[in-house]
Amino acid sequence: MKKLTRVICVIGFCLVAMLGMSNVSEAATVGQILTAPEEGWQRVDDTNKNIVYGGENWVLSSGLSQYFYKTSHNTYPKSSENNTIKFKFKGSKIRVIAAYSTPYSANIKIAIDGKEYSYSQKGALVEGTLNFEKLDLTYGLHSVVITGNSDGCLGVDAFDIDAKGEIVPPDTIDPADYEGNTAILEIVMTNGTIKEYSLTIDELESFLTWYDNRSDGIGKSYYRIPKKSNVKPFLTRKEYLSFDKIYSFEVKDYNE
């Protein structure tokens, strides 16, 4: 009887272990359908106001049940290197959720904090798939730029980020970018003229945001920049910089 009891106990332990193992799901991998964020993640829709779409041919599809929140951005029927998706997020990991389809590109570039990776959206039609993931970022503020390719379309349904993370406005300042609270912006114009401006870090970020957006064809062709010297007897002095006249610029930050 004791021997039979031990056998029953062993069998029972094995069954419990097997049931426990069956409840442990493996993390999704690139190429799999991922209709909802996994534990430890949150899903952000493609229509989030802090995501900036640059270039031409963007189409917003809405009302389709196969998309997260029934929306998706894509450049169908064509794309180019001018098509970009830009945003910043706080977190340590990111996933791109979008469709696979034959019209889409097999070589989409994604830069995270300036480091470039690539992924493919080309294949048999499948909606809501995990196209790309980066899991080992240091927790903090990260910049993302996705760039299209003329060999196919670019599309996105949503992004997954840390459950406690967030997508933030594109002009959000990363404290690690600057050590000072003031900066000298030195601009070299196309005619060789050098212009200098003393700016706060917030003013500098506004200029950089305008420049980045204008590079993508978004916003005004000029930027109004404040001048802080020789103001009197005037109330203010502002200079208007034309985007196509800027050759290069340098930033030198310091504490005032």
Alpha helical stretches, state H, 73-145: none
Domain ranges (residues) in the chain: 41-168, 175-254
Residue 208 has pLDDT above 70, yes or no: yes
Q: Where residue 3 falls among pLDDT bands split at 50, 70, 90?
A: very low
Mean pLDDT, all residues of the chain: 87
Q: Where residue 179 falls among pLDDT bands split at 50, 70, 90?
A: confident
The pLDDT, as a whole number, for residue 162 is: 95
Instruction: For residue 69, give the H/E element and its range.
Output: none
For the record, the structure tokens of 60 come out as 């917003």
Q: Which residue from 138, 81, 89 is spatially nearest to 108, judged by alpha carbons?
A: 81
Q: Where residue 63 falls among pLDDT bands split at 50, 70, 90?
A: confident
Contact at 8 Å (CB) between 156 and 123?
no
Q: What is the fold of 41-168?
A: Jelly Rolls (2.60.120)
Residue 175 has pLDDT above 90, yes or no: no
Report the SS3 class of residue 43.
strand
Q: Where residue 227 falls among pLDDT bands split at 50, 70, 90?
A: confident
- Tell me the CB-side half-sphere exposure of residue 78, using CA atoms within 13 A: 4
Query: Apex CA 205: angle with CA 180 and CA 173, to 5°?
Result: 65
Separation of alpha carbons 86 and 156, rounded Å? 12
Could you tell me how many residues make up the chain? 256
Task: DSSP letter for 99, please.
Answer: E
For the record, the structure tokens of 45 come out as 């829709």
Q: Where residue 54 falls among pLDDT bands split at 50, 70, 90?
A: very high
Does this model's pTM top 0.75? My answer is: no
Q: Which of 121-130, 200-209, 242-251 has the lowest mean pLDDT?
A: 200-209
